[in-house]
Amino acid sequence: MNDTELHCGFVALVGRPNVGKSTLLNRLIGQKVSIVSRKPQTTRHQILGIHQRDDAQIIYVDTPGLHGNARRAMNRYMNRAAATVLADVDVIVFVVEALQWTPDDELVLERLKSVRAPVILAVNKADKVADKARLLPFLAELAEKRDFAEIIPISARRGINLEDVEQAVKQRLPMSPPLFPREQLTDRSERFRAAELVREQLMRHLGQELPYATTVEIEQLEQEGNLYRIAAVIWVERAGQKAIVIGNQGQTLKRVGQDARQQMERIFGRKVYLQLWVKVREGWSNDERALRSLGYE
């Protein structure tokens, strides 16, 4: 097909925290672009994932989960990052969870009232509903909430009905030449992705609250032949948090480093030498200036 005839455009993946948007993005792209964990608010930035099809270039925008009670600067930043994308995309995929409707889902629905783009509702984790007879009334309830372009039950984790989502998206995209080179996967640099892969392991290895007080800054990323030398600082907000991240005899930090390095080697396709330090920056997550200096803008 001639490049000028491609279905090409931007598609926002929106929803409340922890509903499966990043898992959905990675499945649609066929590669890991966004980090994932079981904890809500893992995604903090807008991240583009570009699905290069023969007949389309679909540019998905993964967004932080929209949520109420955004008292801290970090939470306000994440809500802005999610909301600002809505006016600039061709299609919106609103991700909700099967048999769940929360105040944060209602908040997202409210934000969507002013958008002009068609909204496709993806009802995730439908595979986990044991009694499928309960699903149909729930879908009927959702259909009453808005005139959705389509409502599609899916499982992002297991890849169920994702081709249906992609077809629904593709047919609503404008025709244009590709907006990105045909081999490009994301708009994010390897430096950004390295920081995110370290943060993903912090989300996975630390307790409930502590990951939200951490962020990661890459101080060095240098290539030597087939090797990346990467040096990263893990910022925390208090000295007591630093001790927890390092762990008994450095064991927690060692596990975080090992798992992050393995992910980097798999994604970057080269050997990685990773060094991690933990430093304290008091109250960084509630300080607009500190957030900007750490790349939250």
Query: Would you write out the chain's pLDDT as a tens digit for each of its 297 residues?
Result: 445 789 999 999 999 999 999 999 999 999 999 999 999 999 999 999 999 999 999 999 999 999 998 789 999 999 999 999 998 999 999 999 999 999 999 999 999 999 999 999 999 999 999 888 999 999 999 999 999 999 999 999 999 999 999 999 999 999 999 999 999 999 999 999 999 999 999 999 998 888 899 999 999 999 999 999 999 999 999 999 999 999 999 999 999 999 999 999 999 999 999 999 999 999 999 999 999 999 998
Write down the pLDDT at residue 209: 83
Domains of the chain: 3-170 (3.40.50.300), 190-293 (3.30.300.20)
Write down the pLDDT at residue 1: 43
pTM for the complete prediction?
0.94
- Report yes or no: 87 and 117 within 8 Å, Cβ to Cβ: no
Of 8, 27, 40, nearest to 180 by C-alpha is: 8
